[in-house]
Amino acid sequence: MGRKSLGIDLGYGFVKGTDGEKDCLFPSVVGLGQPLSYQSDLGDRSQVMDNLVVSVGGRRYFVGDLARRQSEIAARSLDPNRVQDKNVKVLLLAALGVFASEPRQSFNVVTGLPTNYYASYRDGLAEALRGAHEVTMHEAGSDRDLVVDVDKVKIVPQPFGTLFDQVLDAGGRVVDQELSKAKVGIIDIGFKTADFAVADAMEFIDRLSTSTTTGMASAYGIIASKLREIFAIDKENYELDQIVERGEIRIAGKSYDLTEFKKETLEWVAAKIITVIDSLWDYRDLDKILITGGGGQALGQYLVPEFPNAVIVDGAQMANARGFYKLSKKLFKNDNGNPFTQ
């Protein structure tokens, strides 16, 4: 039985994961799974991420896009305590099931927590992740019964995933010596939170690191209110993903352009985040600012003009997961407890 290194970002908006060979990305939405009376013979059920069905603890769940499409009752996982949120376990096991290539698969996992929740929940989350977990993956008419063993676990402040992604290569070796010795600010904008962290020569600077509840959910709330006001319709936050991404809504077969309103909303959310940054940091003290996360990808264009040393990292939505994976290769290969020893 081979043991895989895995980086998983259990975000409030999306679950992101990588084992270095393949990635997974699906909305953090869980719904009760019920038998579907008919599935079109022309539908494409081969896309695993679009058709995630899992059984955990004897109960069947739709996960991600399938939950959004088919579940009568679906919910995003928004509890800050990731240990007590039952949906988090379903999301985690769905992700592990995607990467499991054997009936009993062992993993070493690195994941993260929002900056403000890190100290409170890291030990509980690590304990909840460790050990053997049973999950059944229902895939295109066949079932895979799995036991996934989570052997070693490392929890880090969420934004540090992006820093590891920039500093380490795929084998966990330090390849950017200059950045590893610099004073770096990280702005990680997710769905529910925006996390801010500072690393000085890779040391986490607690007094300059925090979280706020201003994230993409703030934009979703404004857009949902506008849709209610103009069109008299209500949309759950998980129903807004594609509307926000496309900048349009279709009602009774007609498309309505939301591009300008979306732009105004994102500018407003970005302005709130800029206010937090200005109160927390003097950007001139930082060698570099990394903007990351799915929200960073969406809002970064409004932040960069305010901070001349800021950059939006490539593939910002997956950056934390990539960094977590690289750290897992470093930590669990050498097992020396110091991820920065050459």
- pLDDT over 70 (residue 342): no
Structure tokens at 59: 């109960």
What integer pLDDT is reported at residue 34 of this predicted model? 80
Q: How many CB atoms lie within 10 A of CB 113?
A: 21
**Cα–Cα distance, 65 to 27 (Å, whole number):** 6
- Kindly state the tokens that stand for 205: 């600077």
5 pLDDT higher than 60 = yes
CA distance 298 to 143: 37
Strand partners, 242: none
Can you tell me the distance from the alpha carbon of 277 to that of 289, in angstroms, rounded to the nearest whole number?
11
pLDDT of residue 225: 94
| pLDDT score, position 41 | 52
Average pLDDT score over the chain: 90
| pLDDT tens-digit series, residues 127-154 | 999 999 999 999 877 899 999 999 999 9
Q: How far apart are CA 239 and CA 217, in angstroms?
A: 12
Distance CA 256, CA 262 (A): 12
Name which residue leads in pLDDT, 204 or 241: 204
**DSSP code for 237:** G
Examine the pLDDT at 341 and tell me if it is beyond 70: no
Give the span between the Cα atoms of 193 and 301, in whole angstroms.
Answer: 18
Phi, psi of 237 (to 5 degrees): -60, -35
Report CA torsion sign: 256, 260, 263, 264. Answer: negative
SS3 helix, strand, coil % of the chain, rounded to 5?
A: 40, 30, 30
H helix or E strand, kind and range, residue 290: strand 288-292
Residue 250: phi and psi, rounded to 5, are -105, 125
pLDDT digits (tens, 9 = 90+) for 39-70: 545 455 456 688 999 999 999 999 999 999 99
User: Which pLDDT band holds residue 338 (cuts at 50, 70, 90)?
Assistant: very low
Query: pTM score, two decimals?
Result: 0.91
Q: For the chain, list the domains and their CATH numbers.
A: 3-157 (3.30.420.40), 176-317 (3.30.420.40)
Average the pLDDT over 88-102 and give the result: 94
Phi and psi at residue 171, in whole multiples of 5°?
Answer: -95, 0
Inform me whether the pLDDT recorded for 89 exceeds 80.
yes
Segments in 173-249 forming alpha helices (H)? 177-180, 216-231, 241-246
pLDDT at residue 44 in the model? 53
CB 189 within 8 A of CB 294: yes
pLDDT reading at 337 higher than 60: no
Residue 236: its pLDDT value, please? 85
**Per-residue pLDDT at 237:** 82
Percentage of the residues of the chain whose pLDDT score is greater than 70: 94
**What pLDDT digit, counting tens, does each position of 243-299 carry?**
988 999 999 999 999 999 999 999 999 999 999 999 999 999 999 999 999 999 999
- Among 96, 89, 91, CA closest to 148: 96
Above 60 in pLDDT, residue 312?
yes
Using the predicted structure, report yes or no on whether residue 38 has a pLDDT greater than 60.
Answer: no
Q: Coil, strand, or helix at residue 261?
A: helix
Which has the closest alpha carbon to 212: 182, 231, 189? 189
Q: How many CB atoms within 10 Å of residue 44?
A: 8
